[in-house]
Structures are given as C-alpha cells and as structure tokens.
Structure 1
C-alpha cells in the first residue's frame, strides 16, 4: 500500500476515532494492510475475514473461546459483509483497546447477545458459561452451569422478564464493574504494538 493511499484513509478515519492519535491511525492502517497481505488485495478482498481475525484475537490477545471470538468479529464487522475493512478495524480497536467505560459496556453487551435480538437470554448465558468453564463430566457440568445461570439472572435481571436487556446489564455493571466481562473475556489484556511507535494500548 503506497503512502498516498494510506494518507487518503488516515484523514477520514482519524475524524471518527477518539481513542487514537493520527500517527497511531496511520500505524494501524499499515498493520491492517500487512495482515490482509498482498494476496488479499490482489483478489479484491480488502478486509480481514473471520478466520484471519480470529487468529489475531488468539495470537495477539490470547482469546480462546470460539463463541466469543466469533461475536467479537461481528461487533467489529459493522456492515455485516463478513470482512473487517480498514475503518472497522481502527474504529473497533479504538473501543477494544482505549474505549471509555461506556463504550466498553456497549461493546461487551453487543458481544454477549448472541442472536442479535438485543437481549441476553437464559440459553445464551448457559452456552457462554458452559463454553468457558472446565468440563469434568457433562451432566455434572450442566447442573453447575444451570445454577450459575440462575444466580446471574437473579443478580442482573432487574425487570424480572427472564432475560437481560442493555438497561439491566448497564445497571448491574455500574453497581459492580467486575460484571463487565461476566460471560467470558471479550476485551484484551495484551498490548498491541505498532512498528516504530509506542504500544497502542
């Protein structure tokens, strides 16, 4: 990717992103280009597909939960075209790495409601918790997870409708910030470094 193309992308993206300086946006666009690779650009694919993005989540950020990695991909892929473009990459990372508490709250909720209906259902909580807990025996594990689901619903479902809305989630997390990633880690702990720049996180 030549310098002019990079500069053309940096300007409009920098205006929409609060978390990064202009030089960091440029660095992230260059990183994006190197991750997509020459073959991607030649084939007309100008984005990161799900598998490549999951590889980044796993290798750089240490994520291992398949369900959550897929949901993080969907939270980044705002236009739902199954590719993360340069703008989605930078905007997603700005929340992912440097987002305000409110931005991270919305991001985590978006990751956790799996079917896109705007609620975290009892079944979704069960699937996420089951997936993230060590399994000794299937039956024993399912019973333990069901108990955890009941406790979670009791603690977070303020309007008692059997599911967690954003208002429920926000209220619970504001009362206890440890609940932000209650259904599994979907925010990074690792720093992302740009070549010739300081760490991005």
Structure 2
C-alpha cells in the first residue's frame, strides 16, 4: 500500500467526516484495504462488494435480516455503483459508530424508503418491511390481511399529516416522541457491544497487519 496515497485519501475523507480523528480515519482506510484484499493500484478506486459487506454486517455488527442488509448496503453505496469505496465505508461507519441522534434518524429513514427517491415511506414499503420483520420473528405464517391491519396501525401512529405515507417529518416526530420507533421496521443499526467489538477488531487488525 502506498503511504502517500493513504495520506491523500485520509486528508480528503477527513474534510467531510468530522466524527473521526485523522488517525482513526487512517485506521479505517487501512482496514478497508485489508478487507477488500487488493494490493497495488489506487486504493480510492476499489470497493467492497455486496457479499463481503453483508458478511461484515452479519459477522461483526450483528445485523442478520437479508432485506435490511441489502438496504443498508444501498444506504452506504452513495454513488450506486454496487461497490462501497473507502469514503463511503468511513462515512457509513461514522453513523454506525459515532452518529448523532439526527444522523441515525436520517440513516434509518433512508434505509426504510430506499425503493424510491420521493422522500416517503409508502404504504407498500411499510407492508413489505412489516411482513419481512414478522417472518423473521415468527414461525407462523402471517396473513396479508393481518399485516395490512398492522400497516393501518403504524400509519395511525406515525402519519401525522394523514396522507397515507410517512414523510421524514412524520418519522422524526414519531421517533422523538418514542425512541423505540427508530428501528420500528427492523434492525439497521448495530448495538453498542457490536460497535465496541468492531473498534477493537479494527485496531487489532492494523497492529498485526504490518501496515
């Protein structure tokens, strides 16, 4: 790995990601390079594919739901090229590890409404998310009618302007009134113990990698 390339990339990322110190950004960039498993070339132009990223979400961060892992991948992948580059990796981890309430709020909303860019979680998306969540938690087959009733209950609780969908303003108001609603449609953020495990793993990886 070219040290000059690393420093240039770290400087660039540090200008926009303020929750990490520069040495922490460097640690995450080096870990990224190690996980990707590439040597040589421009490290800013390589990326994690969906499979490797899902492995990290599952094995390190304890996120196990297939649908939500895919949505989290898309939320990290800002340029939509189906790879997570170093900047996207550090930016996403800044929310996971050091995110403010507002940053986590925006991240969860983005994960839940990824089917479109209209800025709303639609009734159809709520149905899909609840059906997926119930399927993960119960061995009994839930009827579509039962899930539709849950959708109605959810909208009644969170759709403050009664337009049949959840806007970011609706979501924010609901979560501020009841913090448990932040991940109401399924886990898309790691628990604190998993964050600590990751930071310990990252440090150990760098110390033993020879970088």
Output the CA distance in 1 between the equivalents of 2:181 and 2:58. Answer: 23
> Cα gap change, 1:39/1:51 in structure 2, threshold over 3 Å: closer, same or farther?
farther
Residue number in structure 1 paired with 2:34: 34
Question: SS of the counterpart of 1:187?
Answer: coil
List per-residue Cα deviations over 1:36-88 (Å, max 9, x = no partner): 1127969x970011111111111111111111111111111111111111011
Output the CA distance in 1 between the equivalents of 2:139 and 2:71. Answer: 26
Residue number in structure 2 paired with 1:150: 152
TM-score by length of 2: 0.85
- Alignment of structure 1 residues 1-201 onto 2, 5 Å: 1-38=1-38, 46-116=46-116, 117-133=118-134, 134-138=137-141, 140-189=142-191, 190-191=194-195, 192-193=198-199, 194-196=202-204
For structure 2, the residue ranges without an aligned partner over 5 or more in a row are: 207-211
> Cα gap change, 1:137/1:32 in structure 2, threshold over 3 Å: closer, same or farther?
same
Q: Does the 8 Å contact 1:50/1:83 carry over to 2?
A: yes
Deviation, structure 1 residue 160:
0.5
Deviation, structure 1 residue 176:
1.1
TM-score by length of 1: 0.89
> Cα gap change, 1:41/1:55 in structure 2, threshold over 3 Å: closer, same or farther?
farther
For structure 1, the residue ranges without an aligned partner over 5 or more in a row are: none
Question: SS of the counterpart of 2:15?
Answer: helix
Output the CA distance in 1 between the equivalents of 2:153 and 2:39. Answer: 49
